[in-house]
Amino acid sequence: MTMSRGLRRAVTGCAALALGLLASASASASTPAGASTVAGPAGGTSTAAASAAGRSGSPQSAVDRVADFYGAYTDVLYDSGRGPLADSLREHYLTAGLRRSLARWETVHHEDGVLRTKEVPTAWHVAYNDSGMGHCWTRTTLIWEDSEHRTRHTRLMVQSDLETMLISGIRSGG
């Protein structure tokens, strides 16, 4: 059976498109995450580090504010330990009632009430969980890696007041 010239062109065009997509996907798969391919000397290509994954946020988002707080608080503790800057972050992001509650919790448990441990996490993740009755709840996961490269997680449920955008509750679990 013979194909018409139009059908042959359509099949050839689809095959060329498929091969082009396959070649593009293959090149993307061989380029490390966070890197891009750029023109190199003599028309060749090389892989160059691209900027890290973008981050964004809004002061009008309760979830972003929780993420901002945990990011800044973790950085401060990691860099210089508990001190005036960590206390200032608590003053700015946490309600007065929560700060009093954390002080009582820390007296009993001898740990940082925001993190629920004495250690400083190596990473954190914040995700929206639910909202209602003027509050927003976020699942906050704190991540540690020990000296043997084992990963541990602490999961927290963090409550924010939507009217003030301040963190008003932290409890284990989540």
Q: Residue 160: which CATH number?
A: 3.10.450.50
Residues in the chain: 174
pLDDT tens for residues 109-151? Answer: 999 999 998 889 999 999 999 999 999 999 999 998 888 888 9
pLDDT band for position 28 (cuts 50, 70, 90): very low
Q: What is the mean pLDDT of residues 27-53?
A: 45
Name the DSSP letter for residue 62.
H
Mean pLDDT of all residues in 70-80? 94
State which residues form the domain around 141: 62-172
Element (H, E) at 142: strand 135-145
| Strand order across the 135-145 sheet | 123-132, 135-145, 151-161, 167-172
pLDDT surpassing 70 at residue 46: no
**Residue 37: inside a domain, yes or no?**
no
Alpha-carbon distance of 41 to 24, in angstroms, equals: 21
- Is 126 a member of any domain? yes
Range with the poorest average pLDDT among 45-49, 63-67, 84-88: 45-49
Number of domain units in the chain: 1
List Cα–Cα distances, 168 to 12, 57, 137, in angstroms. Answer: 63, 20, 10
In sequence order, what DSSP letters do the residues of 9-33 get, joined into one string? Answer: HHHHHHHHHHHHHHHHHHHHHHSPT
Residue 114 lies inside a defined structural domain of this protein: yes
Q: What is the radius of gyration, based on Cα positions, of the chain?
A: 25
In a domain, 48, yes or no: no
**Beta bridge partner(s), residue 143:** 123, 153
